[in-house]
Chains A and B, each alone.
Chain A
Amino acid sequence: MKRTPWALLCGALALALVAPAGASTFLRVSQEELVAQAEAVVQGRVVEVSSFWNRKGTAIMTEAVLEIEDTLLGQDRSHVRLITFGGEVDGYVIEAHGFPTFRKEQRLLLFLEPARKNEDGAHRVLGYRQGEFEIRKDRQGRELAVATWEADNVRILKADGTPARAPRAVPLDEFKRQIVETAERAGRHDVRPQVQ
């Protein structure tokens, strides 16, 4: 056991500074990588959320239905089914720290992985929480894209092993424009026309 004097001096103060947190360890995925790897990038509203034990009974999964408001990249569609690990069934909670979570009526901008056959065609969010942005309004009523992994204190590392900072909240329109420009620079041919 190693000790630091600061810890001894400030221990009492630290007791007052507890807050919720998450776990697990992830490597940072850049926006360029997200854009390059995403099957689709969509904006939408969560209209259904349900949790269940998987077929083998080894994990609780949560599935959500996203009603699409805008498709930035990928196939145009009205709804998409999302899947993630963790959830609550009959009062039994499994927390999958650092994995995306969904709430009904939540508005999200998501980078999606290709659907997996063994998950009935549902999509996972690419890069775990790194591919999940919540759409919120600021005091002026402007819509912002807010990274969800900062709030959950997820452990995300850069390639050199140092901790990555969550991207700051940016106006939604600006964020979408960045994504489209990145996709065009990368030569993706499935960029959807944007209405400004």
Chain B
Amino acid sequence: MKAIKLVSPSLVIVLLLLCAASLSGYVLLSPNRTWNCPPDYTVDNVAGGVPSILDADGGSTRVVNAVTSTAAWNGDNSGKVIKAHRGSVAGFSLGDGVPMLKLSDPLSACTGSCLAATFTAYYSERTSGSGSWKIDDADIVTNSTGYNWTSEGEDPGGVGCSSEIYIEGVMVHEIGHGLGLGHSAVSGATMYPSVSYCNNNPATTEADDQSGLNALYGSGFSSSYETFTSYIGSSGVTQYQPCGTYYWGNAGFQNGSLRGPAGSDFDLYLWKWDGTRWVQVASATTVSNNENISYNGTAAWYLWGVYSYSGSGTYHFYSNHP
């Protein structure tokens, strides 16, 4: 028995170390930071895209599809955390609040040994001293001419690929940084600091990536819900969502879910514009930090309100409507 008593704690330590070794885990950028609203990346629509990618538009559409796919960040149970569209990035600038993914490098920042570079910017804490930081901008540049790039459009499933780098996998990884994630030590994770030629696996996120994203943006919501994050610093404060404004909702269910900080009592309200004023049409005011509303309404302008009855902290709000 004595020996067992001596061995058991050691075994526990060994098992913990094994866990740590195989899952040293996701890493969050420091200070931890999130977007207030899902960033809508403008992906470079420059003619020809990346010159070495021989698909319809030099990888541009493939990048949009990859970074917004439910096989990547939007499928990781944190709701929809990123949007993207093709467009002009002629006004590329760091820190301007317009997230852009440039398929070239107008700053001449990413040359030589650099494949792609992400620049993040954060202005300040949401409230001074809160420890809740927001991302204002995150831009990506690409060394498009220094390497041979490919896409699933050119070389589907690796067929035909030779010493090329998949643009989708690299950009899903870079977007992960843009969402607030650092590198993971879990081999095979999208945020693992490694990519092989002709391997597009990083375009699909893994459980470790999901854990990291959930730590930043919460969990329990499919990509049919958009994700909003903010901070309330004291009781009696109301914030409006989505992102401080109202939205047009077609007829049907207006769904909102609030996940407030632990130990707080946050409430959720829904207002509707009747043509002359805002009218409260639903509320959820349990003694809890979590609230849900599902309101079946006519087509109209709607506005959500998050109210701190007691407590403070960072909260997530998830919205879904027709």
Contact = CB atoms under 8 A, between A and B. Distances in A.
A22 interface: yes
A62 to B, nearest CB: 13
A93 B137 CA distance: 10
A84 B23 CA distance: 34
A23 B118 contact: yes
B27 A92 contact: no
Interface string B23-50: 1111111101000000000000000000
B306 to A, nearest CB: 26
A128 interface: yes
Interface stretch (B88-96, B248-256, B268-276, B294-302): B88-96
Interface string B199-242: 10000111110110001000000000000000000000000000
A13 B16 contact: yes
B210 A1 contact: yes
A59 B93 contact: yes
Does more than half of chain B's interface fall in helix, strand or loop, or is it mixed? loop
Given A7-B211, A10-B19, A14-B211, A24 B118 contact: yes
Of the candidates A10, A92, A154, the one having the most CB atoms from chain B within 10 angstroms of its own CB is: A10
B103 interface: no
Interface string B95-110: 1000000000011011
Nearest to B70: A1
B56 interface: no
Nearest to B72: A1
Interface in A58-76: 58-60
B122 A17 contact: no
A193 interface: no
Interface string A44-84: 00000000000011111000000000000000000000000
A161 B196 contact: yes
B2 to A, nearest CB: 29
Given A1-B205, A23-B182, A60-B95, A10 B23 contact: yes
Contact of B196 (A20, A92, A126, A160): A160
A27 B195 CA distance: 11
B206 A59 contact: no
B182 A96 contact: no
Contacts of A4: 186, 188, 206-208
A36 B35 CA distance: 43
B117 A20 contact: no
A12 to B, nearest CB: 9
A8 interface: yes
A96 B197 CA distance: 25
Interface string A10-52: 1101110111111111111100000000000000000000000
Interface in B76-135: 76, 92-95, 106-107, 109-110, 112-124
A92 B121 contact: yes
A58 B194 contact: no
A128 B110 CA distance: 9
B221 to A, nearest CB: 14
Contact of A153 (B109, B114, B193, B208): B193
A121 interface: no
A163 B23 contact: no
B75 A1 contact: yes
A95 interface: yes
A186 interface: no
A94 B117 CA distance: 13
Interface of A: 1-4, 6-11, 13-15, 17-29, 56-60, 85-86, 91-99, 126-128, 130, 153-157, 160-163
21 contacts: A1-B210, A3-B207, A6-B19, A7-B211, A11-B23, A13-B16, A14-B208, A21-B27, A23-B29, A25-B114, A25-B116, A26-B113, A26-B114, A58-B93, A59-B95, A60-B94, A93-B121, A98-B117, A155-B194, A160-B196, A162-B194
